[in-house]
Structure 1
């Protein structure tokens, strides 16, 4: 019997935000067993702890259909569970992932674990050919004129690659009618995990929707790693207010699916060079259970 739990990340309300499976004792599981359990839970991602030792936790991430290199919301969910289970009291903690070592910071309120912050890898970007603007718009069910010309359209990553498509406003975002097979094909052609549409709702606040059929997720409710890449991209392009060497903001996601969540992002800059990206959020335990693999 393998113990697991389901956690709502980027929210403090169970059932909202983005659901993640968390398995704290997965050291004895095979890759096939991890994949089977992820499929059983049917959360967008499930994180498996394969080793805990000396302030470092080795993890693997699975969608219901395949292993992926990293997942932001599952990392926030894991941080909360490690703290609640007494495995993490707030000191330095590093996750060992397929994208490298990810530092975690625990923020408490009144002595209770409240928010998990995770460092992201350095920002990487790739331009998107102008000829693909129409293809991306049509894949989202839009006319190309609804793309925001003052915000960056580019592929970017701080751990996982997405293509970021800016829209004029959140009403357009809410009304998207995505063509998932076409989005899948474009994702493969661009070498990204997802097509991430976003729209401004304030000076440093954005609404977003993330479509990832290429990894078996038609629409991801709330996507921490992509939010980090988006705010880092916007900061580098001078589209966020900067105080000293810091910029930041909030991404709202999940409203279209009835599971709203919030991702907080802090970006440290040296001029227009992104030095550090941190993504933070709350999490809430949904339920706990146990599973046995039946071959």
Structure 2
């Protein structure tokens, strides 16, 4: 029997945010067993701890259909569970992922773990061919004139690649009727995991929706890795205010699905270069159970 937990990340409210499966003791599981358990839980991602040694935790991430290199919301969920189960009291801790080491930071209130911050893998960007902009808009169910011309349409990554499509306002975002087959085709063509539509709510606040059918996730409720990549992209292009070499912002996601959550992001800059992207959020344990090995 394998003990698993279901944890909602980027929220303090049960039933909101983004659900992740967390398995703290997966040392005895094969890759196939991890994949089957991830499919059984049917969360957007499940994180498996394969080894804990000192301040280093080795992990693997699976969607219901495949392994992925990194997942932000599952990392936040894991960090909170490690703290609640007595494995982490706030000392230096890092995850060993397929994308490299991811340092974690714990924030507690009156001795109670409340928020987990992670330094995401290296921020990267690449352009999107102009001729695909109209196709991306059409795949989202929009006319190309509804794409925001003052914000970047580009691909970026802090562990997983996404294409970021800016919209004129959040009303258009809420009304999207995506063609998931077309989004999957464009994702494969561009070598990304998702198409991430976003709209400005203020100077450093954004609403977003993330479609990842190519990963077996029609719409991801709240996406930490993509949220960090977006704010890094905006900071690098001078679209966020800088204070002391840092740009901060918040992304609101999941409201259309009835599971709202908030992703906090802090970007360290050196000139116009992104030095580091930090993503933080709350989490709440929903339930625990056991899964028989099959």
Q: TM-score, normalised by structure 2?
A: 0.99
The residue that corresponds to 1:31 in the other structure is 31
SS of 1:202 mapped into structure 2:
coil
Structure-to-structure mapping, 1:137-156, within 5 angstroms: 137-156=137-156
CA distance in 1, matches of 2:156, 2:44: 21
Alignment pair present for 1:110 and 2:110:
yes
Deviations 1:57-78 (A, max 9, x none): 0000000011000000000000
SS of 2:256 mapped into structure 1:
helix
Deviations 1:254-276 (A, max 9, x none): 00100000000000111111111
CA distance in 1, matches of 2:185, 2:113: 41
The residue that corresponds to 1:216 in the other structure is 216
Deviations 1:158-181 (A, max 9, x none): 111000000000000000000000
Alignment pair present for 1:175 and 2:175:
yes
Structure 1 residue 50, shift from structure 2 partner: 0.1
The residue that corresponds to 2:11 in the other structure is 11
Paired residues, number? 294
Structure-to-structure mapping, 1:1-295, within 5 angstroms: 1-294=1-294
Structure 1 residue 120, shift from structure 2 partner: 1.0
Contact 1:36 1:293 in 2 (8 A): no
Deviations 1:89-123 (A, max 9, x none): 10000100000000000011111100000001221
Runs of 4+ aligned residues of structure 1 deviating over 3 Å after TM superposition are none
SS of 2:78 mapped into structure 1:
helix
Q: TM-score, normalised by structure 1?
A: 0.99
CA distance in 1, matches of 2:25, 2:124: 33
Structure 1 residue 293, shift from structure 2 partner: 2.7
CA distance in 2, matches of 1:6, 1:272: 39
Deviations 1:128-147 (A, max 9, x none): 01100100000000000000
CA distance in 2, matches of 1:109, 1:211: 34
**Structure 1 residue runs without a partner (length 5+):** none
Q: CA RMSD in A?
A: 0.5
Structure 1 residue 14, shift from structure 2 partner: 1.1
CA distance in 2, matches of 1:165, 1:209: 10
CA distance in 2, matches of 1:220, 1:121: 20
CA distance in 2, matches of 1:147, 1:15: 32
CA distance in 2, matches of 1:30, 1:270: 43
CA distance in 2, matches of 1:251, 1:242: 17
CA distance in 1, matches of 2:198, 2:187: 16
CA distance in 2, matches of 1:59, 1:73: 14
SS of 1:79 mapped into structure 2:
helix
CA distance in 1, matches of 2:124, 2:211: 20
